[in-house]
Every structure is written in structure tokens, then in C-alpha cells.
């Protein structure tokens, strides 16, 4: 009997990807042929795991659903299912506007989908997944939800309050993944800093990372999406103590002007932010900080923006992204502030801040010329191998272009001697080649 095919299309962040991977594992266990992000969606069923974070992501999700609806109308697929953040928030609207959708699921009820599709609920550990990333790295989600309720952010409206996973289950997941050949673990959450507060009544991230670092085979552990307020400072001692905990921290700061921070409801001041950065860099030498900033938030006048630029110039973040404020339905900002900064002003400010950061990134990368860094090799291109250092997260940070060498293997580490640098790329050759 021919197995039924299910195409899973995963949109948005790495947290969504983990959900898709867990879904794929269960559907495979039930006897389906499961394909992920196929360029040729066809067969029996397509499932779109949507993102609903910001306007561009919502638009991509809707366009993808519409494309799959067209495939259904043309007879290339039989059934269309939608899940994830967008459907959690706009279930009724999607059902009304896109009648081709057979059934809509929310952010957390994908196990119901498995039961509906397979008429079964396979008894396998909750952390088992079908890995869709390159097999040497993976994402580990340690919690869902967020209690911060920043003025601009719709995520708590979608995901609800903080829900930390059991620590032992997370550690079992890391052991499971090392058994599958995973070497690099990118630890993710909506609010990494708060891990454990709901379940253990304490900031348990330092304990979790310490135990994770002692697992054989976990060669790199990288931390994403920390929150600056109520930061777990004991984490810095853990990072300094374990060489396999990457000297890398993704911590979104959003702004530095006190009035803007207050209006954003960020629960931290400029002075506290500067002290936090100083403490992090003092306790974890050579750490590379990635941050995200926002321009054009209501009330950000030119004086506040100038202060933000000075902050970027002085803090010299090794990695930085930025985006322009976009009003999100139901948020505190949408209810209480007028989105009165013209789009052209937002665009100008965004271009200015990123131009400033590009120069800083170039200087940071040039400082590495002549040094030898441990790099993991992600893929092979016609003229070089492409890798990353411990300071570089997949897909968002600079890559290392390594001169072709027969010693280099995809998925393995090598010693890369840096020979040249661009703002977002390093050039290298294998040391002692």
C-alpha cells in the first residue's frame, strides 16, 4: 500500500522549526512520508506552520497559504492544514478569507493534528524530532511564552505566559541529539533569562547550561534571546567556566533612551543597560554580543535617535540587527500610542544605524586577520567551504569562507586561519595546511 505524503512548510523563527520537527517525527512514526520545505509541494496533504510576529512575516505566511490553496484548487494537493502563530491569533479571519483550508490549528495543538491525520498518537518521548537543519547543529527550545509584555510585542498575546520545560527532559533531548550526531546546540526561547521562574521559582538557566555543558558530545552551546532586565548573572560564571559554552550571547536591548525604554515597557534604564554590558564583557572576556534595536518607536524624536546612534558607536556590538517599528494589533503600543513617525523617517533611521554597524562589523572582523579560530563547516561551495566560528550563529551571523582543502569535512571542526575580512564575511585557510 502506498504511503500518504505530507508536506510541512515551516515559516518564521527557529522556535517554529522545532515544532515542525517534532510534528514530522510523529507523522513519520504513523507511517506517512513527510517532506519539509519542498520546492515541489504535491501529494496528499500540506501543512503550513505559520509565523505571526510582524507585518512582513504575516504577509509571507498568508501568501504561502494562498499558494497552497491554489495548488489544492489545481488538484496538486488534496488537503490543506494551517497551524502556528498566525492561526493562533487569526483563526476566524483565516477560515473566512481562505475557505480552501480544511482545518486550522493553533500554536500548541499540533498533537491534535497528529491524532486527526493518523487516528493515532504515537507513544514516543516528546523531545524526539526529525532534524531538518544540517545534521551537525540543532535548536533546543527550553520554554514557551513570555511574561514581559513589552509595549510593541504581540508574542505574549499569541504564546501566552512563560512555560518552562522540565530540565531533565531538556537534558534528555540534548543527549538524544548528540546520539544523532549533533555537535552544536543553539538554545532558544522567547525569554531565555526567565527560564525556570514558573516551574522552579528561580532563575534556573545557569544550572541548566552548566549541566548541558557536561554532556559528552555537546561541543558548542550557544545562547539566544536573553532579556536584559532581571538577567541571571550566575550564567556568566558558567559561560566563563566551560569552553564548550560559546562566548556568544544574543540579548535584545531595543533602545537606550530612558524615555523610549519606559514607553516600550522594557523594565530597564539606560544606566542599568550600560552596567549590564560592562559586567558581561568583564566576566566573559572576548564575548561576542548580538543585539537587536528598534527605530521609529512612537515618541522617538531626533534627540533620542541620536542617543541611540551614540550608544551603537560606543558599545560596538560585534553582531547587531535592527528594524523599524511596526504597529501590531492588540499591543499596548497600538492601544496607547499614535504611530506618528513617518515611514520615510523610520527608513532613514534604520539605514543610518545599519550603516554605522556595518563599519563596526568590518573593524571587528579585520581584528581577526592573522588569528586562528575553531570553525565548524556547514557546506561546500564551488570555490570554498563555508563555516562558522563560536561567535557566529547559523543564518544570521558572518560566515567563514575557507579555501578548499582535502582535510576539511562538512559537519566537522577545523582550525581556520583568518586571511582577510569583509563586514559580514571572513576569509580563511586551514591552519598548517
pLDDT at 2: 62
Residue 333, C-alpha cell as written in the block: 503600543
* Contact by Cβ (8 Å): 294, 352: no
- 185 contacts 137 by C-beta, under 8 angstroms: yes
Going from the C-alpha of 90 to that of each of 62, 84, 107, 330, 380, the distances in angstroms are: 11, 10, 11, 12, 41
Cell reading at 289: 554580543
Question: Which of 422, 287, 428 lies closest to 359 in space, CA to CA?
Answer: 422
C-beta of residue 261 within 8 angstroms of C-beta of residue 254? yes
Residue 303: per-residue pLDDT? 97
Residue 370 burial (CB < 10 Å; 0-12/13-18/19+)? exposed
* pLDDT given at position 301: 97
- The 10s digit of each residue's pLDDT in 130-166 is 999 999 999 999 999 999 999 999 888 888 899 999 9
Compute the residue count for the chain: 433
pLDDT of 1 higher than 70: no
Number of C-beta neighbours around residue 181 at 10 A = 12
Per-residue pLDDT at 317? 97
User: 171 near 178, Cβ under 8 Å?
Assistant: no
- For the chain, helix, strand, coil in percent to 5 are 40, 25, 40
Q: What percent of the chain has pLDDT over 70?
A: 99
Render pLDDT for 364-416 as a digit per residue (tens, 0 to 9): 999 999 999 999 999 999 999 999 999 999 989 999 999 998 889 999 999 99
CB atoms within 10 A of CB 31: 12
- Distance from C-alpha of 144 to C-alpha of 230, rounded to nearest angstrom: 18
Average confidence (pLDDT) over 84-100: 88
Q: Which residue ranges form the domains of the chain, and what is each CATH number? A: 5-118 (3.40.50.12160), 137-366 (3.80.30.20), 372-430 (2.40.50.140)
Which among 14, 99, 82, 9 has a CA at the least distance from the CA of 53? 14
Q: Which helix (H) or strand (E) holds 89?
A: helix 85-97
Amino acid at each position: 500500500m502506498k504511503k500518504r505524503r505530507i508536506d510541512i512548510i515551516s515559516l518564521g523563527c527557529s522556535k517554529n522549526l522545532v515544532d515542525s520537527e517534532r510534528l514530522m517525527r510523529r507523522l513519520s512514526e504513523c507511517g506517512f512520508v513527510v517532506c519539509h520545505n519542498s520546492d515541489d509541494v504535491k501529494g496528499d496533504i500540506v501543512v503550513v506552520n505559520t509565523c505571526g510576529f510582524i507585518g512582513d512575516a504575516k504577509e509571507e505566511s498568508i501568501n504561502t497559504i494562498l499558494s497552497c490553496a491554489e495548488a489544492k484548487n489545481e488538484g496538486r494537493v488534496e488537503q490543506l492544514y494551517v497551524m502556528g502563530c498566525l492561526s493562533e491569533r487569526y483563526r476566524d479571519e483565516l477560515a473566512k478569507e481562505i475557505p480552501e483550508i480544511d482545518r486550522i490549528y493553533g500554536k500548541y495543538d499540533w498533537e491534535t493534528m497528529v491524532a486527526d491525520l493518523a487516528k493515532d498518537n504515537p507513544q514516543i518521548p516528546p523531545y524526539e524530532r526529525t532534524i531538518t537543519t544540517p545534521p551537525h547543529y540543532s535548536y533546543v527550545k527550553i520554554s514557551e511564552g513570555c511574561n514581559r509584555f513589552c509595549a510593541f510585542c504581540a508574542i505574549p498575546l499569541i504564546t501566552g505566559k512563560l512555560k518552562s520545560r522540565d530540565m531533565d527532559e531538556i537534558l534528555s533531548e540534548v543527549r538524544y541529539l548528540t546520539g544523532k550526531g549533533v555537535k552544536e546546540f543553539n538554545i532558544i526561547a522567547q525569554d531565555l533569562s526567565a527560564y525556570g521562574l514558573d516551574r522552579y521559582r528561580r532563575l534556573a538557566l545557569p544550572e541548566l547550561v552548566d549541566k548541558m555543558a557536561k554532556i559528552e558530545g555537546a561541543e558548542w552551546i550557544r545562547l539566544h534571546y536573553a532579556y536584559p532586565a532581571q538577567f541571571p548573572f550566575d550564567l556568566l560564571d558558567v559561560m566563563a567556566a566551560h569552553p564548550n559554552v560559546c562566548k556568544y550571547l544574543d540579548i535584545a536591548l531595543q533602545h537606550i533612551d530612558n524615555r523610549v525604554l519606559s514607553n516600550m515597557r522594557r523594565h530597564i534604564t539606560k544606566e542599568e543597560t550600560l552596567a549590564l554590558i560592562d559586567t558581561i564583557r568583564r566576566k566573559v572576556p572576548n564575548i561576542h554580543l548580538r543585539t537587536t534595536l528598534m527605530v521609529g518607536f512612537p515618541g522617538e524624536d531626533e534627540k533620542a535617535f541620536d542617543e541611540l546612534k551614540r550608544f551603537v558607536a560606543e558599545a560596538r556590538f560585534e553582531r547587531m540587527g535592527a528594524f523599524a517599528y511596526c504597529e501590531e494589533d492588540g499591543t499596548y503600543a497600538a492601544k496607547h500610542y499614535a504611530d506618528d513617525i513617518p515611514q520615510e523617517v523610520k527608513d532613514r533611521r534604520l539605514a543610518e544605524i545599519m550603516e554605522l554597524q556595518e563599519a563596526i562589523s568590518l573593524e571587528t572582523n579585520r581584528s581577526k586577520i592573522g588569528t586562528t579560530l575553531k570553525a565548524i563547516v556547514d557546506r561546500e561551495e564551488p570555490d570554498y567551504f563555508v563555516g562558522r566560528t563560536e561567535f557566529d550563529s547559523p543564518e544570521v551571523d558572518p560566515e567563514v569562507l575557507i579555501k578548499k582543502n582535502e582535510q576539511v569535512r562538512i559537519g566537522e571542526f577545523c582550525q581556520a586561519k583568518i586571511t582577510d575580512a569583509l563586514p559580514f564575511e571572513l576569509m580563511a585557510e586551514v591552519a598548517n595546511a
